[in-house]
Structure formats: C-alpha cells, structure tokens
Amino acid sequence: MPEQNNTEVHDLRSAIECLRAIPGQLVETDTEVDPDSELAGVYRHVGAGGTVRRPTRKGGPAMIFNNVKGFSDYRVAIGMLGSRERVGALLGYDPRRLGFLLKDSVRNPIAPITTQTENAPCQEVVHRADDLDFDLRTLLPAPTNTPEDAGPYVTMGMCYASDPESGESDITIHRLCVQSRDELSMWLTPGRHIDAFRQKAEAAGKSLPISISIGVDPAIEMAACFEPPTTPLGFDELSIAGALRQRPVELVECLTIRERAIAHAEVVIEGELLPGVRVREDQNTDTGKAMPEFPGYTGEAKAELPVIKVKAITHRRNPILQTTIGPGEEHVNMAGVPTEASILDMVGRAMPGVLLNVFAHSAGGGKFLAILQINKARAVDEGRQRQAALLAFSAFPELKTVVLVDEDVDIFDSDDVLWAMQTRYQGDVDTIFIPGVRCHPLDPSQTPEFSPSIREVGTSCKTIFDCTVPFRLKSQFKRSVFREVEVARFLPDFK
Ligand code: MN
C-alpha cells in the first residue's frame, strides 16, 4: 500500500465515495429503520466489532441507512472508521503504520483557516431555535443506541470551543444527549480541554459558545481524539487534520454564536454551555443508564451534567447524520491510533530504534491495552523494553496494560501475541505491577470492592506483561523457518 496522504477526501461525502470504490467497505439499505435502538441493533451485526457483546463482526463495512423513520430528508451513516483497513484507505496509508502517520502529522501541523459563508455547505439550510417549531427531537435523527439508553445521543459531534482568555481552540468528541427541544447534556471526562474552557467561563459567570459539527472528513475525527501530553491545552487538533490532508481545515463563522464550525460538515449545532446549570442525564427516561461506552458496558447516567442551550441547527441539503456505536471497532481506531502515535513519539524520542511499532488493541477500546513490538539489537537493550512500557504509560495516561513482544511477533494478530505469552513469558518474573495509578474512569474494575489494593475509585493497577526473550537467550528462540516459494505458481489467484 502506498504511503501517500489521501488528499482527495475533504468531507463525509468524498469519504463515502472513496469507500464506494473499494469492494466490501460500504453497504446501503433503503429499508426503513427506526433510529430508536433499531439502527444500532442492525449495525451491531453488520460491523461494530470492538468490545461489543458477541455476536458482532470485526472488519465489517460502513453502512448507510437511506430511509430513516420520521426523518425523510436525512440519511444516517455509521461505522465509517470501523475497520483499520478502511481508515488506511481514507487516509491513504498502510493500516499497520497509521500511528506513524499521525505522529508525523502532530509534528507538522497545518492550522485551520476561516472561509466565507458562501463556501460553507454546512449552512445551506438554517433552523433557528427562536422559531416556535424548532425541536432537536424532530430536526435531528440522533439514534438511541439501546432500549435502556437515557435518550437519543449525538455520538460523532466534533465539539469546538475556545479559551475565553487566550482564544485558543480545541476540538473533542463528547457524548451529547438530547434533553429537550433546545437542550443537550454534555459529559466531559475530567481533564478534557473544553471542560477547562467551560470552567473558566463559568467562574466568570459567562456561557461558553460551542459548535458541534457532525459528518465531517474522517481525518478530523481521528485528530479530535488526541489527548495531552501529545496535544497540550491550547493545541488545536484541527491542525493535525490539516497535516493529514496537506491543506488547512476550513472553518466558518457560526450564525448565532461567536464560534466557528467545520464548513464542510453535514450538520452543525450552534449553542452555549450555560454557567451554573446542570441536568440529570436520564431525566426523561429514568433508566439510570447513559449509552454504550467504549469498554463495552453502558455508562451510568450522570446526576449533574453541563447543559448546551442550542441556538440553531444548520445543515446541508439532504444531510447525512453520522453516528457510531460507542464500543465498536470505530472507537478502537479513533482513540487507538492517536494513542499509538503518542507512544511512538515519546518512546522514539527517548530511545530511538527500540520500539518498532505499537497496536492500541481492540480489547481495550484503543485506550486500555497496547502491544509494543520491541527490537533488542544489542545486549544493552535488555531492560529497555520495560523502560518503553513505562514511557508508554506516560505518553498516554489512560493506558492500563502493556504487552511487550519481540520483532518477530505480529502485534496485529492476537494469536501471535498470545503465542509469545505462552513461550516467552514466565508469570512470576515477567509481570510488573504498578498499583494505585489513575486510569480511565470508565473501567468498571477500578473499585475498592473489586480489589483490596484500590483505595480510590478510578485508580488502577497498571500492568506490564514482558513477553520478550532475554537478549542473551535470543539464539534459542528462533521460530521455524520455511522455504520461500512462489505460491501463485500453484494458485494463480492467491493473495
Ligand atoms: Mn485538546
């Protein structure tokens, strides 16, 4: 596969056309689908993968629903980034080396620019919230993913806001639940940058303008998932998307708030995070649940969440609402490839040549589990694999487990990784525990009830599984070598 940035794709529609040209990457249906739990129920079987309860399918196609019950002008797209091969095609890069592509993109950012309204298809149609018939619930086919969810969610909204003091901007994806005709609740995981902006505005008694762009260039969706320290507070992740496409992301001034939105989005929600206002996430359903989250469990409804007062929805003619299944392979790619890029960058700077590649594994939703492929070239490299693991925990604080393997193990093949654990690992000497470290709040095992070593909810025992051969024993661990042959001489169609 050529390693050349795909510069053809610049919005959701060109991304769909890119996938349409590749066999097996896109399916469509004209059968009417109910966005209330049916749509996600279908896609769970077609292609969700990831941490979704089985049966589901890893590597299935993206899907477009052309006939959405109650929303005649909308189509819904799901699973656009739901396979690593697809992400590779959309970015024009070897799927196994996407972490390197994103690492290089962070190092060579291209800042977004602001374009004129007439160049912004996202504002072709405008619905203002002061119209009496304005209602998020009938204007937007936001799916309810399971019958026990708190309500319909915007799951692929690129939330864009700016620091009230410095003016620096940030883009992140957050779970947004439709609460009323003009309100969304927003869950901001602690430490997220837009939350820092929101807290500053709230402390000054002011609202924070926020735009939510839905249905955009997949490069933006990947870039939005970077986290500190790779992208510190004040780093606009849109500049990573600019690097991926070798041209700046185009923004447009919103119509009702002082913020910008992605000009080529399908749909934009304009609104304000209100100071001092909180809402119970499941106030309309009392289910106690939120929506399926990336670890594979349905998140609990939060008691007090910030509220976005919506001012307007703008969209293209015949818009496509993009959505995702939270625990699917799509999350693995969106969260995981930036995780890989962060680890490659930090370990590469500290110890060049030691870390060959890394995979933020599907079982951890792209966040909890990383497989590191290590090259021990000299005797002094012994022990550097464990240093690489420690650096990985620093590069991505939400990482929980690191598995270290040698250069002859395929990190994308779990059978091969588990093979290394069977033949190159002894539990009592090759397992390293680092207890009492803060991880991601959505890991349900991080409670004092679960483990006596956990004193605070949200802290965890980080673990390194060192499945590499000690350098001095390497000669005894050569895998069987088969003769190189030309298979096509026997099977002409063999790939
Ligand atoms: Mn950020």
pLDDT tens, 325-362? 999 999 999 999 999 999 999 999 999 999 999 999 99
The domain locations on the chain are: 12-330, 351-471
pLDDT digits (tens, 9 = 90+) for 72-130: 999 999 999 999 999 999 999 999 999 999 999 999 999 999 999 999 999 999 999 99
The pTM (predicted TM-score) of the whole model is 0.96
Distance 231 CA to ligand 1 centre (A): 6
Q: What topology is assigned to 12-330 in CATH?
A: Pnp Oxidase; Chain A (2.30.110)
CA distance 14 to 484: 41
The helix (run of H) or strand (run of E) holding residue 100 is helix 98-107
Longest dimension (CA), the chain: 76
The predicted pLDDT at position 2 comes to 46
pLDDT digits (tens, 9 = 90+) for 134-193: 999 999 999 999 999 999 999 999 999 999 999 999 999 999 999 999 999 999 988 899
CA distance 353 to 332: 26
Distance 383 CA to ligand 1 centre (A): 33
Q: What topology is assigned to 351-471 in CATH?
A: UbiD C-terminal domain-like (3.40.1670)
Q: What share of the chain is helix, strand, coil (3-state, %, to 5)?
A: 30, 25, 45
The helix (run of H) or strand (run of E) holding residue 98 is helix 98-107
Write out the catalytic residue numbers: 293
The predicted pLDDT at position 6 comes to 78
Q: Is the pLDDT of residue 1 over 60?
A: no
Cβ-based neighbours of 475, under 8 Å, separated by 6 or more = none
Distance 192 CA to ligand 1 centre (A): 7
Residue 278 phi/psi, 5-degree rounding, is -135, 155
Q: CA 345 from chain center: how many Å? A: 19
CA distance 480 to 129: 68
Bridge partner residues of 64 (DSSP)? 28, 77
CA distance 158 to 135: 21
Q: CA 228 from chain center: how many Å? A: 14
Percent of the chain with pLDDT over 70: 99
Using omega within 30 degrees of 0 as the cis cutoff, is the peptide bond preceding 55 cis?
Answer: yes
Q: Is the pLDDT of residue 280 over 60?
A: yes
CA distance 85 to 72: 32
- Residue range 229-246: mean pLDDT, rounded: 95
Distance 313 CA to ligand 1 centre (A): 25
Length of the chain equals 495
CA–CA distances in Å: residue 228 to residues 5, 12, 120, 205, 318? 25, 27, 31, 27, 37
- Residue range 50-70: mean pLDDT, rounded: 97
Band of the pLDDT at 3, cuts 50, 70, 90?
low
CA distance 14 to 104: 24
Find the DSSP H helices in 321-443. 329-350, 384-395, 414-423, 427-430
* Amino acid identity, position 399: L
Higher pLDDT residue, 286 or 494? 286
Distance 76 CA to ligand 1 centre (A): 28
Strands 169-173 and 157-162, how do they pair?
antiparallel
Q: How many CA atoms lie within 13 A of 475 on its CB side?
A: 3
Distance 446 CA to ligand 1 centre (A): 25
Q: Is the pLDDT of residue 318 over 50?
A: yes
Band of the pLDDT at 243, cuts 50, 70, 90?
very high
- Print burial letters for 277-290: b (CB count within 10 Å at least 16), e (below 16): eebebbbbbebebb
Using omega within 30 degrees of 0 as the cis cutoff, is the peptide bond preceding 295 cis?
Answer: no
- Print burial letters for 175-188: b (CB count within 10 Å at least 16), e (below 16): bbbbbbebbbbbbb
pLDDT digits (tens, 9 = 90+) for 363-413: 999 999 999 999 999 999 999 999 999 999 999 999 999 999 999 999 999
Distance 442 CA to ligand 1 centre (A): 19
How confident is the prediction for the chain on average, in pLDDT? Answer: 96
The helix (run of H) or strand (run of E) holding residue 232 is none
The helix (run of H) or strand (run of E) holding residue 375 is none
Q: Confirm if 151 and 144 have CB atoms less than 8 A apart.
A: yes
Q: Is the pLDDT of residue 65 over 70?
A: yes
Distance 154 CA to ligand 1 centre (A): 20
Structure tokens at 290: 């939120």
* Amino acid identity, position 103: K
Distance 224 CA to ligand 1 centre (A): 8
Placement of tokens 């590749």 in the chain: 22
CA distance 223 to 352: 25
Distance 256 CA to ligand 1 centre (A): 24
Distance 308 CA to ligand 1 centre (A): 19
Distance 171 CA to ligand 1 centre (A): 6
Distance 68 CA to ligand 1 centre (A): 34
The predicted pLDDT at position 189 comes to 86
Structure tokens at 468: 């590499």
